Amino acid sequence: MPGTAGSVAGLVGLADTAVLRINPLPGRRLGTPELTAAIGVLVEAERLCASLADAACAELFDLAASATGRDLQHILELKRAVYNSRAPRASAHARAWPATTTAWLAAWQRSALARSVLTTGYETHLAEERAALAEAVGAEPFQLSLALTSPQVLEAVRRYARSAGRPSKQDRRSERGILQHLARAMVRTSPLSRLTAIGFASWSEQGVALDRVVFRRRRTHSVPSVDRALFSQLVGGLMSGAVAAGEGGAPGEGVGPGEGVTRGGGVLVTVMQNPMLRTTQDTVRFHQRDGSQIRVVSTALTDQLRTLLDLTALGPVAVAELSRALADRLAGTVQQTERMVRAACAVQILVPGPVLDEQSPDPLPVATELLREHAPVAAAELAQVSGALGRLATATVHERVALLKRLESAQQRLDALGAQPGPRLRVNEDYVIDPFEVSAAGYRQALDGLARTAEFAALFDRHHEYRAMACGLFVERFGQGASVSLVDHAAGLVAGVLGREARIGDPTVGGPAIGDPAVVDDPAAHDLAQGFGPRDGSLTALLRLRTTAVRTLAEQIARHRTERAQAEELALDPGLLAELVSALPERFRRSAASYALVVQPVGGRLVLNGCYPGHGQLGMRFLGADRDLGGRAAKSVARRATALFSADGADVREDRGLHGANINHRIPLLERAVTPEDWLGVRLAHDPVQDELVLLDADGERVRPVSLGMGWPELHPAPLRLATWLSDVGRVNIESFGWGQAPAADRTCAVPRLTVGHVVLQRRRWYPGADFPSAPGPDGPARHLVDLTAWRAANGVPDEVVIKTGYDAAVITRAITTGAYPAHRHPEKPQYVDLASALAVRTLPRFLDRRPPGNYLEEALPGVRQGQHAIEWVIELDRPAGARFQLRKP
């Protein structure tokens, strides 16, 4: 039953703002009513035949005991047909049989009729679906998004829409890609494009229910912008070109915005690492530009060069400050180290720092003004780019295509004006909804369950072991109570922690997998973890708890599949989950924490899609737009983040760098910032009383630098990555907890839906075996549809599924640590497929072929609902230091 209505505003533990993700394109299934009905009949008849088979065989066995001659032959023939689920002879329907056998024959007749409808009417159904697809892809919201994100797909989509259901051979070859993008637009709620709109909602009893929110186009606003990291490089190249050509004179200090200028009178002011620089254990590889030529250059990673790169890892640094820092570390003079910096610039290991503030709300006007004096032709081009970008938000599909072509032409002209070819002028678009109110009516119990789920999920947060191993490694290298420069030692510590995680997690290099039951029972594994972690044994205790949790749930799933194989759902006892995490060592509850749980509401339940760091991180990029629309989300996030990170009295400072990724763009939130120069003075110290690592500023005071960008922490520079391990939670990859077992090679393995109260922890899954008809046989696609439907009936697979690929971040980390470069370093995007659609089943083999091994099917919950928009909520939960995740009244 759905939870009772009730106010949640003001509840301790629940963030006062929730984030809505909603897709503008309404849902639509392609299958015709006739095809859907025939598939439904076939599934029902196949299941009925399977349920009656044993009883029918028993009846026929008893009947055969007293039969002789031809009568016995007919009975045995029918018994073999029932047992092997094969078509009986036509003569079998001409005589009377016992009740269950008669029912089996009737069900088989309905199955045969449905098969006939599917095969004989296949081409008709396919043609009708193609007409429906042509109509669906003609929708303006869909094409507006594709114009910016996938222009080549848009061309195919527009051709297909014009075909009116009679696609050419070229159009038919595009069907897989078109279906993939259409499914993304209808089903998968992922921000950072117009395909999904974002809105911030405050909790209120008068608000709209979580599952009743609708998309209103007039209350949604397009916010186009340029990729700031790439645009900064482009403008820097234009300035260099102007200085080299003497056009307008050399730029002076204080020009335009002042603080952003890095070259004054041709003098280098700040430098940063080459954006294309990559390091290995002993080499550095980077792109070296010479006019229009680009060379890939590599050089040895000497100790001096390593120190230089460590000091510039956090972003642009003033040359004078960098030279002084180098001199302190290399025992040289400032003049010597300044020459070293300039030599690194000469070969382009270092490049001039940005001329713009990369976090500027709108860098185009600032860049235009900056270039007006020094490169007036480039400034005029940027003014046109700014105008075109401003019209993009309200343009029709045809107008948008034309505007984007103009931007592409402007890019080519700007390339000709720069000192060297610049990066692509990439345009992004956010789609932001007016602030509104949301109610917890019908979902109050589910929110309570969500807090219990967060408490359980936190057990699997990898930042726990990272903090523990970093502490153990630091003490081993530097001693108890030691203090060292963070930027000098962060890279080595991060590599060492990841290497130790690999040793614990890989039996081939030192120990059993972290989720392997052997971790509980193997003393050698305990010794390994004990040696890598703090003296209190907390790392070993953590691994034991995880393995016990995985083993316990795996045993419950195995028991359910044995005793209640037909039941779709396994309800886990909330008390059991609480018991499994009750012994979590104090070290891992010591800091305050915040998680963002991504959920979809379905009939009073919240279906869990993911668990990420909280404090507004998943909506950070959109806070500026929300503030411009009158929203209060930015103030709320700033207040919560400050309280979270300063709970122990540390001085919280915000790292506002892009770090080469536009996804890290956001408005400033915290009062104080940490600059790349400030990072040079941060020290990493061991607190011997608490046996933990802390960060200290240049004056020896506790400081906590934090990054609030949306980028993955794994891609942060090493000092920021280590600081994040010490201060924040990580993403919990719920889909790879490890309690699902790999199927046998010959049979499909089904895993029930896992629920905890009113929260769906995991949807139903199917791991296909050799019985899965993944591709058509010699009888063609019509028979493939029939065979796939029969397979679905045998395994309880619904019409709508999502193809997913198993992914374990720890496995990828181990591979990278050992020097490998995995082909699939990031999770594959889920792919929605309607198995009651002839066209979708026809393209299924190509969907599967394009994915790496390890695919499984998961129920689409919720599925596509005609005319309704896919929605997803980001609900954040906070936990004070030393406490548990729970919702309570103040």
Provide φ and ψ at 335, rounded to 5°: -65, -40
Q: What is the DSSP letter of 728?
A: S
Q: Above 50 in pLDDT, residue 262?
A: no
Phi-psi region of 691 (alpha: psi -120 to 50; beta: other; left: phi over 0): left
Q: Above 60 in pLDDT, residue 259?
A: no
Quick one: pLDDT at residue 523? 54
Quick one: pLDDT at residue 825? 58
Strands annotated E in 309-362: 317-318, 350-352
Quick check: 881 and 592 in contact, CB under 8 A? yes
Quick one: pLDDT at residue 240? 75
Exposed, middle or buried by CB within 10 Å (0-12, 13-18, 19+), for 227?
buried
Helix axes 486-505, 303-311, angle to 10 degrees: 100
What the block records as the tokens of 775 is 């591709």
Q: Distance between CA atoms of 607 and 450, rounded to whole angstroms?
A: 10
Classify 476 as helix, strand or coil.
Answer: helix
Taking 3-state DSSP, the helix, strand and coil percentages for the chain, each rounded to the nearest 5, stand at: 50, 20, 35
pTM of the model: 0.91
Q: Are strands 436-439 and 197-209 parallel, antiparallel or unpaired?
A: parallel
Q: Distance between CA atoms of 101 and 59, rounded to whole angstroms?
A: 7
Q: Distance between CA atoms of 801 and 803, rounded to whole angstroms?
A: 7
Classify 659 as helix, strand or coil.
Answer: coil
Quick one: pLDDT at residue 746? 82
Q: How confident is the model at residue 723 (pLDDT cuts 50, 70, 90)?
A: very high
Residues in the chain: 890
Residue 653 β-bridge partners? 705
Q: How confident is the model at residue 423 (pLDDT cuts 50, 70, 90)?
A: confident
Q: Above 70 in pLDDT, residue 2?
A: no
Q: Above 70 in pLDDT, residue 33?
A: yes
Quick one: pLDDT at residue 822? 55
Provide φ and ψ at 242, rounded to 5°: -65, -40
Quick one: pLDDT at residue 809? 62
Q: Above 70 in pLDDT, residue 813?
A: no
Quick one: pLDDT at residue 514? 45
Q: Above 80 in pLDDT, residue 124?
A: yes
Quick one: pLDDT at residue 183? 95
- Average pLDDT of the segment spanning 323-342: 95
Q: How confident is the model at residue 617 (pLDDT cuts 50, 70, 90)?
A: very high
Q: Above 90 in pLDDT, residue 416?
A: no
What the block records as the tokens of 609 is 């899609």
- Average pLDDT of the segment spanning 165-183: 94
- Tokens 């932001």 — which residue? 432
| 183-to-129, 166, 196, 826, 830 alpha-carbon distances in Å | 15, 21, 12, 20, 10
- Average pLDDT of the segment spanning 292-320: 94
Neighbours of 841 (CB within 10 A): 25
Closest alpha carbon to 834 in 164, 136, 212, 46: 136
Quick check: 431 and 196 in contact, CB under 8 A? yes
Neighbours of 390 (CB within 10 A): 13
- HEC profile for 296-313? EEEEECCHHHHHHHHHCC
H or E element in which residue 402 lies: helix 397-417
Provide φ and ψ at 709, rounded to 5°: -70, 165
Closest alpha carbon to 470 in 500, 508, 509, 437: 500
Q: Distance between CA atoms of 807 and 737, rounded to whole angstroms?
A: 10
- Tokens 């095809």 — which residue? 35
Q: What percentage of the chain has pLDDT greater than the value 90? A: 76
Q: How confident is the model at residue 501 (pLDDT cuts 50, 70, 90)?
A: confident
DSSP result, 347-394: TTSEEEPPSS-TT-S-HHHHHHHHHHHH-HHHHHHHHHHHHHHHHHTT
Q: Above 60 in pLDDT, residue 525?
A: no
- Average pLDDT of the segment spanning 314-326: 96
Q: How confident is the model at residue 508 (pLDDT cuts 50, 70, 90)?
A: very low
Summary mean pLDDT of the chain: 89
Q: Above 80 in pLDDT, residue 267?
A: no
Quick check: 862 and 191 in contact, CB under 8 A? no
Q: How confident is the model at residue 497 (pLDDT cuts 50, 70, 90)?
A: very high
- Average pLDDT of the segment spanning 316-342: 95
Q: Distance between CA atoms of 708 and 665, rounded to whole angstroms?
A: 9
Sheet strand arrangement including 673-674: 673-674, 651-655, 703-707
Provide φ and ψ at 574, rounded to 5°: -55, -35
Quick check: 164 and 128 in contact, CB under 8 A? no
First and final C-alpha spacing in the chain: 27
Contact partners, residue 64, CB within 8 Å, separation at least 6: 72, 75, 76, 79
Residue 468 β-bridge partners? none
CA angle 621/809/546 to nearest 5° reads 110
Q: How confident is the model at residue 184 (pLDDT cuts 50, 70, 90)?
A: very high
Q: Above 50 in pLDDT, residue 507?
A: no
536, amino acid identity:
D
Q: Above 50 in pLDDT, residue 519?
A: no
Exposed, middle or buried by CB within 10 Å (0-12, 13-18, 19+), for 334?
middle
Q: Distance between CA atoms of 310 and 684, rounded to whole angstroms?
A: 15
Quick check: 137 and 160 in contact, CB under 8 A? yes
Quick one: pLDDT at residue 129? 97
DSSP result, 760-800: EEE--EEE--TT---S--TT-HHHHHHHHHHHHHHHT--SE
Q: How confident is the model at residue 744 (pLDDT cuts 50, 70, 90)?
A: low
- Average pLDDT of the segment spanning 236-263: 49
Handedness of CA 669, 675, 678, 680 (dihedral sign): positive
Q: What is the DSSP letter of 646?
A: T
What the block records as the tokens of 50 is 């399977």
Return the minimum-mean-pLDDT range out of 262-266, 286-290, 321-325, 829-833: 262-266
Return the minimum-mean-pLDDT range out of 237-246, 469-478, 766-775: 237-246
Cis peptide before 862 (omega within 30 of 0): yes
Q: Above 60 in pLDDT, residue 245?
A: no
Closest alpha carbon to 779 in 122, 130, 38, 174: 122
The string of pLDDT tens digits covering residues 459-483 is 999 999 999 999 999 999 999 999 9
